[in-house]
Structure 1
């Protein structure tokens, strides 16, 4: 019975830490691009079409970033 007085607060602390860690990961952008790394292994890095597609995506990202209003 004494062990429950120790294990229950430890379990609650671990759950709280796991929730905090999940929200930290979401806020820091860990889940922003789930498909990119999975698809990148399917293509040869030396392929000119692949390099052109990567440059196009980077240009689109840069264009989207430049269209965002500055933070106040």
Structure 2
């Protein structure tokens, strides 16, 4: 039972930190373009720059 005195506040601290990080990511527009990266992977880039090995 003595461990609960330590673990409950620790769990609340971790939960509040996770909530703050999630809210920060919402405000910094991390989730604005969810389909863009999925479609960009399918596009064929015509420019072959240095380091492509061709």
Q: What is the CA distance between 1:46 and its match in structure 2?
A: 1.1
**Cα root mean square deviation, aligned:** 1.2
| CA offset digits 1:21-59 (Å, max 9, x no partner) | 000000011101000001101110118xxxxxxxxxxxx
Q: What's the TM-score once normalised by structure 2's chain length? A: 0.82
- Give the unaligned 5+ runs of structure 2: 48-54
Q: Which has the higher contact order (CA 8 A, sep 6+)?
A: 2
Matches within 5 A, 1:29-48: 29-46=29-46
User: Larger helix proportion, structure 1 or 2?
Assistant: 1
Q: What does residue 25 of structure 1 align with?
A: 25
Count of residues paired in the alignment: 47
